[in-house]
Structure 1
Amino acid sequence: MPDIPRGSAMSSDSTITDGSALAERVYRGVLHRIIVGELTPGAWLKERDLSERFEVSRVPVRQALQRLETEGFVVATRNKGASVTPVTRADVEELYDARLCIEPYATRHAAQRVHSGAASADRLRELLERALAPGETVELGESNLGFHLEIVRLSGNRILERSLAPMLGRMQWIFGITHATREQEHAVEHQQLLDAIVAGRGEVAAAQAYAHIEQGREPIIEALAEALHW
C-alpha cells in the first residue's frame, strides 16, 4: 500500500495508523535479519535499499531505524547513515550487569505472587517445555529468553518488564551471532527456578536467577570473541 503524502484529504488518524504499521513492518523485518545474523555488526543499512526491499517510502524506514537505534541495535553516523551496532566486550558486560539489577529482584516478587495465587506459572511451564524441544539456535534462544521475560511479567512490575524486553532482544541477537545457548544447563537451571517460584521461595529463586545469569556471562563473551575476532 502506498504511503499517504502529507496534506492528504484522508484523516490524520488513518495516516498515523498506516504509517505506524509500515514502520512496524520494516522494524520487525530488519530486527529479524539482525537477530538471525543476516545483517552482521557493522553492516550498513541504506534507506534506499530498505525502502525497495519493504516496498515503502523512506519515512517508515527512518522511523524503524530510529526505533532500532533507541533499542541499541543500530547506530547512526553523521553524514554516513545507519549501521548495525558493533558488539564490544564492554557492551556485553553492561548488558549482563543490567540484567542482574532487574531479574533477581523480579524473580523474588514473582515467587511471592505465584505462591499467593496472584499470578500463574502455567506460561512458565509452557516456555520451559518449548525450550526443551529440538529446534534451531535462534528458536531455542527465543524460548529461553521468553522464560526470563515471563518471570519479570509475573512480578507485576510493568516498568521492569518494559525495561528488560529490549535487553533480552539483544541477548537473542548475541545467541544468533554465537550459536551458544547452553541448552542442557539452561534446562536444569530453568527447572530449578520454576520449582522455587512455584514453592514461593523468593530468596532462593532470586539467588538462583542471579547465579543463572552470571554463569552465562563468560561463555558468551568467549564465544563472541571467537565469532567477532575481538
Structure 2
Amino acid sequence: MEQPRLVPIMLDNYKPLRELVFESLREAILLGRLKPGERLMEVQLAEEMGVSRTPVREAIRKLELDGFVIMVPRKGAYVAGITLKDIADVFEVRAALEGMAAGLAAERITDEELDQLERSLVQIRESQSGDNINAVVEGDTAFHDIIYQASRNQQLVQIITHLREQIQRFRMTSLSQPGRSKFALDEHKKIVEAISDRDVELARVLAREHIENAEQSLLNAVRKEEQSND
C-alpha cells in the first residue's frame, strides 16, 4: 500500500510544534513524497498534518533557508529541484572534505571509534536485508559522522555540518538507486580497513572515490527523472 505524503503530527514534549512540522515536511521531501517542483499549499499541508497554518508557514520559511524550498513571487512556495550544477558543486566540495577527513581519521582515530565504524557496517547491512531505506540512510550518515569526529578537526566538522541538509537530500536519492546501497557498503568496508591499517593515503583515495561514485549514482537518477518527464 502506498504511503501517505504526510501523517498527522504526534506531539513530542521535547520539541516545539513548528519543529515537528518542519521535520515532517523535510522528510517528505527527502523521501520524494513531496516532489521537486510541487507547490506547497499551506492549507492542504496543515489539514494533512492536523495543525494550523502558522507552524506550516514557519516550517516552509526554514525549509527555504535550508535550500529545500524556493519562493516564487506572487505564486508561492515550491519544492526546490535538484539541478546537475547543484550536485556538481556540493560533491566537489564533499569529495575533498571526505578525503581529508578519512586521511586524518587514519592518523587519529581511537580504538573505540574503530569499533563504532565496524558496528555501523553491521547496522547498514541489517537495514539492507530488511529493505529499510530510512535505516540505511541513518546508518550511512552515522558512518560518515564517526569519521568526521575521528578527524579531530573541528573546522572540517563545521563545514560538513553546514552542507548537511543538502548532503542528506542527495544521500537519500543516491542510496535509493538499485544496487547503490550494496556497493556503498563495500566501499565503506574498504575505507574502514584503510583507516584501521593507518594507511592515510589509501583512506583518502578510497573516501574520495566513494563520494565520486555516489555522485555518479545521483546524476544517473536525475537524468533518468528528466528523461521520464520529457
TM-score for both structures, normalised by structure 2 = 0.80
CA distance in 2, matches of 1:228, 1:146: 31
2:205 paired residue number:
207
Seq. identity, % = 28
* Residue 128 of structure 1, aligned match among 121, 134, 144: 121
Aligned-pair CA distance for 1:213: 1.1
Secondary structure at 1:120 match in 2: helix
Please, which runs of 5 or more residues in structure 2 have no aligned partner?
Answer: 1-12
1:191 is the counterpart of 2:213: no
* Residue 148 of structure 1, aligned match among 132, 144, 147: 144
CA distance in 2, matches of 1:143, 1:49: 33
2:7 paired residue number:
none
Whether the 8 Å contact between 1:131 and 1:140 is mirrored in structure 2 is yes
Q: How does 1:65-144 map to 2 (within 5 A)?
A: 65-114=60-109, 120-133=113-126, 134=129, 135-144=131-140
2:3 paired residue number:
none
Letter in 2 for 1:153: Q
CA distance in 1, matches of 2:106, 2:51: 46
Whether the 8 Å contact between 2:105 and 2:150 is mirrored in structure 1 is yes
Q: RMSD value over aligned CA atoms?
A: 2.5
Deviations 1:145-182 (A, max 9, x none): 33223321322324134224223212234237x53451
Secondary structure at 2:113 match in 1: coil
CA distance in 1, matches of 2:177, 2:121: 19
Whether the 8 Å contact between 1:124 and 1:147 is mirrored in structure 2 is yes
Aligned-pair CA distance for 1:198: 2.1
2:159 paired residue number:
160
Greater Rg by CA: 1
Secondary structure at 1:56 match in 2: coil
Aligned-pair CA distance for 1:137: 3.5
Letter in 2 for 1:174: T
2:4 paired residue number:
none
Q: How many residues align?
A: 210
Q: Against the structure 1 CA distance between its residues 83 and 65, is the aligned structure 2 distance closer, same or farther, given a 3 Å change threshold?
A: same
Which deviates more from structure 2 when the two are superposed, residues 219-228 or residues 21-30? 219-228
CA distance in 1, matches of 2:223, 2:168: 20
CA distance in 2, matches of 1:180, 1:23: 35
Whether the 8 Å contact between 2:101 and 2:148 is mirrored in structure 1 is yes
